[in-house]
Structure 1
Amino acid sequence: MLVQTCLARRMNTKILHTFLMVAESGGLSSAASVLGIPQSQVSRHIKELEEICGAPLLYRHGRGVSLTLAGERLHGTLRPALIQLQEALSTVGDQDREPSGPVDLALSPSFMHAVGLRLLDAIQKEYPGIQLRLISGNSRYVYEWVLHAQVDIGVLSDIGMSSQLLLDELGSARVVLARHPDFPLLLDSEARPELSGVALRLPSPGQGLRRQIDIWAAKQQIVLNTVYEIDDIEITKEIIASQRAAAIVSRLSIYKELASGAIVEHVLGNDFRVRSVMATARNRPITPAMKAVIKILKQISAAVFEEIED
């Protein structure tokens, strides 16, 4: 009854978006930062919505805010209802028009290497009216760009990401040890690499994949010999090609070189994987041009992840 009362009353939908952002970010100040409005305005929106609903929606406490039972009911119904409304509004009058206009898409370096050119060709062929702009950046930067509306869509490695973005998994790839075919490496009886003392290139500290690698090494009780800390995948491939070091990488970033034989791989564990996810902002509508790009992106991603598992 509470939800029906709230939705039935005439109200500015901005206060609904404000409530969702507060509920999903856990605080008034963080919601204000994401929405780009003063915290006092966020407070007014919440107060107005509580008056309309006739019930408190939030508990205030020292660590931020939490949803009351009434707030949880409203949140559970409101998110899908607003998404459906945004989609309906964005498609009115667009059914007979080809999607057009600019779309900024940020990709992690590995993903750019794997799908960038295919994606450009497919968009140009199927949606010539769309100006697709590709931007490369590490996952933590892609996350910030999407969050602060500097790009429309992002693709990043999903390792402990916040719920402030809408995330949609595109696929996952094994994390492997990559080396030049002539790079010396000992294997144990089960053909697993002996990494003790082996010169390695790893991602820089703070990167999501680096955290995964450090956790994996600790569980295996392995002390990694980190000679290079580099995030750029092209320099990493040069290091491998020159036999300066081996590298722990996502298979997604080297699958073309694996096919050509320029790099060989060693599996570090079937469960040692990294997911690639598509990210969009919760508080921004998806335009027809963005929908077209997302559709092609998902198709190409599915094909690429199927290839790298072969």
Structure 2
Amino acid sequence: MLDTRQLQYFAAIYESGSLAQASQTLRVAASALSHHLAQLEHRLGSPLFLRKPRGMEPTAAGHRLHEHTRSILRSIAAAETDLRDSVGQVSGPVSVGMSFSAVKAIGVEFISRVVHDYPDVQLVLTESLSGTALPYLLASEVDLALVYNPPNDPAIHSEPVLEETMVCVGRSEIIGETKDPISFAELLELPIILLRQGVSARALIDDNTLLKKIEARARLQMNSVQAIAGSIDAGLGCVIGTRLFMQDQLQRGSVHARAITNPELSRTLHLCQVATRPRTFASEAIRALLLALVRKAVTDGRWEAQLVG
């Protein structure tokens, strides 16, 4: 069985890059750290670092162990906090990942509610494009994530929350003066600027077949919301998105939106958690708050979407 103290020492060496620095951080003699590291390497049957004159360089095994160690130590800390909270007080760290649209719709209200209702919760909020949120979730950097169209993965518990209808947004000279619907076939003839979510555009729409057609015809592909907004304003193309996504430009009147037909395009927002990670009082409270705020934003008309479930 792995020794928790040895894992703590290993993590400190890994993150500081040297025995001397880890010794100062932990206030443990460097010789003791070296002894425990040697025991851990012997137990695992593999060197975890390359010893160099100016520090310690992790081996492949060291990198892999660090991934596991972060998850193990985080779970231990969460268990300690959760047991202290068994009297009913909600406290401890909770990390939340949100797509750009979710931050735009409920981000400020969410932060305000956490600060007011759960002052002992240490909130970490990460705004990320949906394709990048799940790796963080899996690496134990994020406890909860509001993301679009997550891949099927038994390691992730995914709960659909709402469904959004996509529209075509652009300047009149690009998408036409009319606000009448545009067919999908007509849309493919326009200079589409595609928002890529991490390594793919999977979060754009639910239908992967239609997505591949869009990817094949896109004029530009970007991984920056700000760059896309500027490009749309400059008349360099049009974007497939939601009214919420391009809300600022639509309100200024610099662009307008056309519904897409034959077929309609939609995407589904999911609330995701690592399936095997125990839930804490704090994570349950934050999960309930997220769901309540999403529902409120939809019913108030601030988030143009249909609730699921």
Would the TM-score normalized by the shorter structure come out above 0.5? yes
Unaligned runs of 5+ in 2: 1-63, 70-79
Secondary structure, in 3 states, of the residue corresponding to 1:253? coil
Q: What is the letter of the counterpart of residue 122 of structure 1?
A: R
In structure 2, the residue matched to 1:231 is 223
Secondary structure, in 3 states, of the residue corresponding to 2:269? strand
The 8 Å contact of residues 192 and 266 in structure 1, kept in 2 or not, is answered as yes
Secondary structure, in 3 states, of the residue corresponding to 1:184? helix
2:281 maps to 1:288: yes
Aligned match for 1:127, one of 115, 118, 129? 118
Q: Distance in 2 between matches of 1:223 and 1:186?
A: 22
Q: CA deviation at 1:165?
A: 0.7
In structure 2, the residue matched to 1:179 is 170
RMSD (CA atoms) = 3.5
Q: What is the letter of the counterpart of residue 191 of structure 1?
A: P
User: What is the TM-score with the length of structure 1 in the denominator?
Assistant: 0.61
Aligned match for 2:130, one of 139, 155, 170? 139
Deviations 1:263-307 (A, max 9, x none): 421121474211111111111111111111111111111122342
Deviations 1:237-277 (A, max 9, x none): 12222222110124442345545545421121474211111
Q: CA deviation at 1:96?
A: 4.2
Unaligned runs of 5+ in 1: 1-31, 38-88
Deviations 1:173-230 (A, max 9, x none): 11211113x44324899632633542220123622135757722778xx897522201
Q: CA deviation at 1:124?
A: 1.1
In structure 2, the residue matched to 1:102 is 93
In structure 2, the residue matched to 1:77 is none
2:245 maps to 1:253: yes
The 8 Å contact of residues 198 and 224 in structure 1, kept in 2 or not, is answered as no
The 8 Å contact of residues 173 and 251 in structure 1, kept in 2 or not, is answered as no
Aligned match for 1:309, one of 290, 304, 307? 304
Q: What is the letter of the counterpart of residue 290 of structure 1?
A: S
Secondary structure, in 3 states, of the residue corresponding to 2:181? coil
The 8 Å contact of residues 111 and 252 in structure 1, kept in 2 or not, is answered as no
Q: CA deviation at 1:100?
A: 1.3
Count matched residues: 225
User: What is the TM-score with the length of structure 2 in the denominator?
Assistant: 0.61
Secondary structure, in 3 states, of the residue corresponding to 2:219? strand
Change (3 A) 1:218 1:149: closer
Aligned match for 1:203, one of 195, 200, 209? 195
Q: Distance in 2 between matches of 1:195 and 1:271?
A: 12
In structure 2, the residue matched to 1:297 is 290
